[in-house]
Amino acid sequence: MCLLAQGLAGADRQGRDEAAVLIQGGRVTALGSEALAAGAPRRELPGLWLAPAPLDAHVHLHLGGTVADNLEASRKAGLAAVRDLGHDPKLDMPGSKAGQTPLVVASGPGLGAAGEGSSWLAEKLSGPRDFADAAIQRVSAGAKVIKLFASGLLDFERPGQVQHPMVISQDEMRTAVKKAHDAGLLVAAHASGQATVQAALACGVDCIEHGFFLDRDLLEAMAKLGVYWSPTLAPVLSHARDPEGRYDDATRQRLREIARQQAAQIKRGEELGVKLLLGSDAGAYGLDHGSAAFEEMAAWLDAGVAPGTVFQAATSRAARALGLAQELGGIFSGARAWLLATAGDPRQNPMLLQKPVWRGF
């Protein structure tokens, strides 16, 4: 089938006929004049833009429902892939097959501290040998990314601070990172606060998850090193909305202040060239799988992040961070034909991806 649209978002190729895409066997096989010359049946999408389906780079499939239900919600929302950074030991996710959305890039249990500041989302470890052995075990079990829990949670009573700001040592981090890199895997670190993020960068971590309360110098260092940053603004906004009435008014106000600070830092990170990565923390309080990715998008746009940056963070950049750049994130020969057609250019309004006019999967 040859799709004909007004324009393509996420295609490397340019030209008058660039909005022709040939699909064979579920893959993009040609673009432009080459697609038109194939003589395949044509499907016209007048006035619409074709775009790759977005990805969510930070979810917890074991939270907010069953894994199967959360995968189905992600599929219905039009997500091409998710990166699961949870504690569920099962890496063979039910319902996620090679030809079915969403693809799942999973870490299995996180690697975290055994003592004070330990996380219920992570295996409790102590010492470099424990971290090395745990990283090797994840690789053997089929993990596609290693997750470290380097800091505690945000302190809702004191905006700007983190509970248990440094819970694992640099030796522990460095050892786990080396084992992961030896196996060709990236390392994502739950890390907030200056000292912890600085230590994570020094140890070679590839992705900073959350990363609250960072100053300009540290953002510049992240940009220079090319480290990904998934700033997860949506979960704090959800806590501030407090749909179940967990908090008092003063706490909700402090949460809004934390969100305000993070929004400003995301915008600054964009200006400094940090590799922003769209991850929603779906499964966290008040964040449904699938729709949470678009809540994160909307929060970035409200913070003043350029629409094109948001689009890139959810498509091509997310695909690279998840190790799926040969499959997803763009419209190119060999890519999975998991395409959306929107009423306008999603690089100018990425929220159009939430309600496509047509879906190819």
Q: How far apart are CA 183 and CA 144, in angstroms?
A: 10
pLDDT at 91 over 70: no
* pLDDT recorded at residue 71: 94
Per-residue pLDDT, averaged over 239-243, amounts to 97
Query: What are the residues facing 154 on neighbouring strands?
Result: 162
Q: What is the pLDDT of residues 176-213, one digit of tens each?
A: 999 999 999 999 999 999 999 999 999 999 999 999 99
Q: Given pLDDT bands bounded at 50, 70 and 90, which one contains residue 92?
A: low
Do 63 and 40 lie in a common domain?
A: no
pLDDT, position 159: 87
* CATH code where residue 272 lies: 3.20.20.140
For the segment 116-143, the average pLDDT, to the nearest whole number, is 94
Please tell me whether residues 196 and 336 are part of one structural domain: no
Q: Per-residue pLDDT for 288 more than 60?
A: yes
What's the CA gap between 323 and 318, in Å, rounded? 9
Q: Are residues 354 and 227 in the same domain?
A: no
195 and 181 within one domain? yes
**How much is the pTM?**
0.95
- Residue 9: which CATH number? 2.30.40.10
251 and 213 in one domain? yes
> What per-residue confidence (pLDDT) applies to 205?
98
Whether residue 83 is predicted with pLDDT greater than 60 in this model: the reply is: yes
Mark whether 79 and 19 lie in a shared domain: no
Residue-level pLDDT at 333: 96
pLDDT tens sequence across 317-338: 999 999 999 999 999 999 999 9
What value does the mean pLDDT of the chain take?
94
Instruction: Give percent of the chain above pLDDT 90.
Output: 89
Q: Which residue intervals of 20-162 are DSSP H helices?
A: 32-37, 67-76, 128-141
Domain hosting 179: range is 55-321
Q: How many domains does the chain have?
A: 2
Is the pLDDT score of 49 beyond 60?
Answer: yes
* 24-37 confidence digits (pLDDT tens): 999 999 999 999 99
Instruction: Please give the C-alpha separations between residue 199 and each of 37, 228, 266, 274, in angstroms, as whole numbers.
Output: 55, 15, 20, 17
- Report the run of H or E that residue 343 belongs to, with start and end: none
How much is the pLDDT for 158?
87
Q: Within this chain, do residues 304 and 236 fall inside the same structural domain, yes or no? A: yes
Q: Are residues 134 and 172 in the same domain?
A: yes
225 by Cβ neighbours in 10 Å (0-12 / 13-18 / 19+) ranks as middle
Decide if 282 contacts 102 (C-beta within 8 A).
no
CB 238 within 8 A of CB 188: no
For 8-36, give the DSSP string. Answer: ESSBS--STTTTEEEEETTEEEEEHHHHH
Question: 100 with 33, same domain?
Answer: no
Between these two residues, 116 and 193, which has the higher pLDDT value? 193
Rounded to an integer, the average pLDDT of 102-106 is 94
**Is residue 289 pLDDT above 70, yes or no?**
yes
Q: If you average pLDDT over residues 118-125, what whole number do you get?
A: 91
Say which residue, 274 or 96, is predicted with more confidence.
274
* pLDDT at position 170: 97
pLDDT of residue 17: 64
Backbone angles phi, psi at 298, to 5 degrees: -60, -35
Distances (CA, A) of 150 to 82, 98, 345, 352: 22, 32, 39, 36
| pLDDT attached to residue 14 | 55
Place of tokens 């890039």: 105
Same domain, 71 and 192: yes
Same domain, 65 and 43: no
151 and 292 in one domain? yes
